[in-house]
Structure 1
Amino acid sequence: MSGNDRRSVGELLLDSELAARDVLMDAYEVDGATMLRTWGEVVESAGDLWDSLPSPGPSPEFASPAPEDSLMAQLKAMNGHLMRSGRGQQWPGAGEPDERLLRIAENLTRASDLLTLRDSNVMSPEVRADLGAARARLVHTLYIGAHGVHVTLNRELRNMQSQRAAARVHNQFTHPELPREDLVRAVSRSRDRVAAFEQLAGSYVSRTYPHALDGEHLPPPPADRLRQALAAWDVQAHRSLSRSPSAENILLTSQTQMMIAQSGQVLLRAASQAGRIDPDLYASRLGPALDNAHAVWSSLSRSWNQLLPPQALLKADPSLVAAAKETSAAYREVAYDRTRPASAIEIADRVDLSATVQAVQQSISSSVDIAHVIGHATTQPDVTAPARRLNARAQQLHAERGESFDAPHEGWVSASDHLNNAPAALPHIVRDDLLTQADEVAATATVAMSAASSLETILPFSPAGTPRNGRFHQDRTLSPAPETGDLPPPVR
């Protein structure tokens, strides 16, 4: 974990919850063996963090702490045996980790490092509330993540069983790509054991989440954190893409710029509602321009994401990763009440909106140049991606363009690269498409910059409302996952 990571324990836990939700949402697109290999690290890191949390001591709220600790010990034991039983076996075998699960494990390890390893029998109500919230968030993260792994393994098992059923009908059990029966059994056992883990974690979640978050201490954000984070991100994005252009760095940059555009919308909308900027200007020019900027950044990010495997960001520049995490945390601290956008009143109570508007305006301007830097990086020969993904994308683009674009006789990638799925240079049809998108992002960002140049702050004014103390507890639960990955109700 980078030494530049300024996130608090609470932010790291929240980031882990959101990352677990991402795992669940993408559970139908990730390899089960990759997920299972990395899941063990998540549980180990969670157990270490649980053990690092201070003991609450005697208190009405924590009259019986032993059952909680026993539950975590059970989860750690289940995970430890599952990981040991898979070592040296053909499945899940060795291989790359899942980037999102690894991110969760890193966050939890970092949170452990931030804690003072000592017990305290005398705690303020604020610390007690934070401790209960931390435990609840930690197990909730394991619950969501376990369900994502379970969904992935269940999908993989059904696919393997379907292939064997089809082979049985056609008497093709000697086909080299047919999954062996012992591998099917291995996946089935792992699925069932992860399901048991999920249900055990769910029994704790049902008792604690989300009411354990009530009273969670939310310190006011540092006055200059967002501006500093955005400035540091701008410098690091230019530096990383200039010194080490790679598909991974371009993907992370486009993803972060998409987040910046979306969060900037939230803040400027709040400034409009709070009277810090002209509401008519926002409604007529700035809001639509920001909508378009967010849309094109999203499209560019998706296009790069198609070319890379889920664990690709493990290869991104660590300094760029750290700057992206700090920018995300700084925005979320100001613009969100946990997992939902904060209201204009909440945001106005947290920060100086006039200064925040200036920071957002500067980020809109810098996004224009970052788009051009991405376009230049896309042309560099060092930018490569897995050959099979490149070939699939090139074929898709060629089918969309039809006969107006001739396919090369030697193929979009070499036969050897495709066979080994080796890193390959971008085919010209793929590079041209990415360059066109980068140019569109730059043009759209320029329009947004022009609209933002007309921002005019007015005299300080706060909308009427109840004074805020930085603690809001409604609507803090994660919004429901899509139908394909809905969580079953926890065991009660």
Structure 2
Amino acid sequence: MATDRRPAYADLDEELFEVDQIPMTSRDVRSVGEMLFDIDYLARQLLMDVDGDDAGTLLRSWPTMVEAAEDLWASLPGRRPGGDERDRPITSLAAQTATIEASLSGRTAWPGQGPTSPRIDQMTQTLLNAAALVRRYGAEIAHEQTDAHRDLEAARTRIMHGLYLTAHAVNVALHEHGRDRVNDARRSGHRVQLAQHHSPYAVAPTGVWIDRMSACENTARSYLSDRFAQILAGEAARPFDDPGRLAQALATWDIQTHRALAHDLEPSNVVLITRTQGLIAGATLVLVDAAATAGILDPSDRLIPAIAEAGRSWGNLASRWGDLAPPGARLEEPLARAAAEVRAAYRQLIHDTTTLAAPDVIGTRPGLPEGITASLRAIESSSEVAHVVAEKAAAPNLVGPARALSIRAHNDVENGLVATPTDDDVVWVSPAAIYARRYVPLPPPVQESLRRVGAATESSCGTAAATAGLAIGNAVGGPTPGTAGSTTDEPTSRRGASLVDPAAPAYNASTAGRRDTQHPSPRVS
């Protein structure tokens, strides 16, 4: 994939918003380290979601991802002249993958020619963007210094870990594909020879691909063995030079969400929206705890349970929309980019490299007052997003993969989530449709449960919005810590600022949220 080389920023003198003066961007503004962490996140999500129907698209996408990873690896500064022992793992993995690509080229047997996986393609594009950024600024990195050397080693480890997780996800999908073939053969009365290695379901034609992907997975694992956590401890953190980053990210996300929901939307994009809304709820809980610890926000007995319930509802809704998403469905690029920036902005504020930061540590970081305010406002506006997503569930033309919908329908009935007109076992999706991997209309139990979960999300988000609005309103109406009318005896350094008026340090609205577009940081992380 070609890297987009358009200007990264719009004219900063033409602000889209008067408040906070948020410049809109047309490119990825994350650091290389944040991109690599996001690849790790996306690979973990992929691993949790894959099924047998994804096997072909994932396998076809694997070679391009490895090629992009090798390109990024080669662009990292500090390579020794000639052969470098550190390059052997990625070189070996690339060679193994090249043979897979050659076997897939022009192939008519399974998996044949067809679409690639948009989720691996997203990781591939992120690797390409990271490589372009390193090539542009890598010469400025003093790689001979200890800290820079450790950061570069952490970057290589991140690259390999993303490949390891993705290879494992492809293997899981291949095993599930073999299981589906065995089950389909048994239902139709045909005999099938089970495999004697890997698993009984590594049957032809998936068995050979499992062998080859297992070799790739083992190569990546051998590089990571006994060193993953140790190496990542040397990963450099992006400096807190932009207190308005999270507010900008959430504002952009809100805009892109409403633009996407304004028209007929692929289920895969609804999944991204619902998952990101759940992530916002979960991260807001962390910020509420940190803000209460720092004395920025008054603790509330209602706020945390309400936001937690909204987060659970978003997760449940995302799971059900995920049943409707076809394996090759594409994500809208502006929406995916906005979601990635939300993840990066939250991680910068609430994480310490690989772990969640303690509340007292988060409380000392610049941007917490702005971040908690923006997060509570995002919770407040989430009820409207929940209403629009619930409307999408009532669309008459919703379809999904037959196998996933059949499983969901039977599970909902068995768990008593929906009422059925008869006690007899009902075949909600025909076996022929499942065997042919067709897309079918939603069975009545799936449609009813989707609407119920959507309504429950509306309700929980409405409650969370009300409590978030009260938290913001109380901060607006109450006395600002450190001013007349305040009864607290806490030192000024701890109180720092109010929720809605972060006055210490001084906040310049004309420059809030802006980046140094002329001299962005060249650091890897």
**SS of corresponding position for 2:400:** strand
Does residue 204 (structure 1) correspond to residue 220 (structure 2)? The answer is: no
Residues 383 and 250 of structure 1: CA distance in aligned 2, closer, same or farther (over 3 Å): farther
Unpaired runs of 5+ residues, structure 1, are 59-63, 464-492
Map 1:125-140; keep pairs closer than 5 Å: 125=145, 126-140=147-161
Residues 74 and 258 of structure 1: CA distance in aligned 2, closer, same or farther (over 3 Å): same
**SS of corresponding position for 2:364:** helix
Percent of aligned pairs sharing the same letter? 32
Among 24, 30, 36, the residue aligned to 1:7: 30
Cα displacement string for residues 123-166 of structure 1 (whole angstroms, at most 9, x for unaligned residues): 463433322211121122223333333444456567778999x8
Aligned residue for 1:489? none
Among 45, 64, 73, the residue aligned to 1:22: 45
Cα displacement string for residues 235-271 of structure 1 (whole angstroms, at most 9, x for unaligned residues): 2211211123342332221111111111111111111
* 8 A Cα contact 2:278 2:311, kept in partner: yes
Please report how far the alpha carbon of residue 303 of structure 1 lies from its aligned counterpart in structure 2 after TM superposition. 1.4
Aligned residue for 2:70? 47
Q: Distance in 1 between matches of 2:58 and 2:230?
A: 30
One-letter amino acid matched to 2:230: H
Among 465, 468, 478, the residue aligned to 1:449: 465
Aligned residue for 2:244? 224
TM-score using structure 2 length: 0.73
Deviates more, 1:82-91 or 1:438-447: 82-91
Aligned residue for 1:488? none
Residues 379 and 159 of structure 1: CA distance in aligned 2, closer, same or farther (over 3 Å): closer
One-letter amino acid matched to 1:83: E
Q: Distance in 2 between matches of 1:161 and 1:374?
A: 37
Q: Distance in 1 between matches of 2:183 and 2:257?
A: 46
Cα displacement string for residues 317-346 of structure 1 (whole angstroms, at most 9, x for unaligned residues): 222222222222211221222443221133
Map 1:340-489; keep pairs closer than 5 Å: 340-381=355-396, 383-387=398-402, 389-390=404-405, 392-394=407-409, 396-397=411-412, 400=416, 405=421, 421-426=437-442, 429-455=445-471, 456-457=474-475, 459=481, 461-462=493-494
**SS of corresponding position for 1:116:** helix
TM-score using structure 1 length: 0.77
* 8 A Cα contact 2:324 2:399, kept in partner: no
One-letter amino acid matched to 1:145: T
Q: Distance in 2 between matches of 1:406 and 1:317?
A: 42
**SS of corresponding position for 2:363:** helix
* 8 A Cα contact 1:230 1:327, kept in partner: yes
Aligned residue for 2:281? 261
Runs of 4+, deviation exceeding 6 Å: 158-164, 176-181, 411-419
Q: Please identify which structure carries the higher helix content.
A: 1
Q: Distance in 2 between matches of 1:397 and 1:6?
A: 42
Aligned CA-pair RMSD: 3.8
Aligned residue for 1:317? 332
Among 198, 221, 239, the residue aligned to 2:259: 239
One-letter amino acid matched to 1:257: Q
* 8 A Cα contact 2:386 2:454, kept in partner: yes
Q: Distance in 1 between matches of 2:406 and 2:204?
A: 33
* 8 A Cα contact 1:375 1:435, kept in partner: yes
* 8 A Cα contact 1:245 1:382, kept in partner: no
Please report how far the alpha carbon of residue 56 of structure 1 lies from its aligned counterpart in structure 2 after TM superposition. 4.7
**SS of corresponding position for 1:385:** strand
Q: Distance in 2 between matches of 1:4 and 1:47?
A: 23
One-letter amino acid matched to 2:39: S
One-letter amino acid matched to 1:79: T
Please report how far the alpha carbon of residue 360 of structure 1 lies from its aligned counterpart in structure 2 after TM superposition. 1.3
Unpaired runs of 5+ residues, structure 2, are 5-25, 197-201, 482-491, 496-525
Please report how far the alpha carbon of residue 416 of structure 1 lies from its aligned counterpart in structure 2 after TM superposition. 9.4
Among 292, 295, 300, the residue aligned to 2:309: 292
Aligned residue for 2:213? 194
Q: Distance in 1 between matches of 2:141 and 2:353?
A: 29
Among 331, 339, 350, the residue aligned to 1:335: 350
One-letter amino acid matched to 1:298: G
Deviates more, 1:127-136 or 1:417-426: 417-426
Please report how far the alpha carbon of residue 178 of structure 1 lies from its aligned counterpart in structure 2 after TM superposition. 7.8
* 8 A Cα contact 1:10 1:134, kept in partner: yes
Residues 191 and 423 of structure 1: CA distance in aligned 2, closer, same or farther (over 3 Å): closer
Residues 406 and 327 of structure 1: CA distance in aligned 2, closer, same or farther (over 3 Å): farther
Q: Distance in 2 between matches of 1:223 and 1:395?
A: 49
* 8 A Cα contact 1:398 1:405, kept in partner: no
- How many aligned residue pairs are there? 444
Deviates more, 1:98-107 or 1:300-309: 98-107
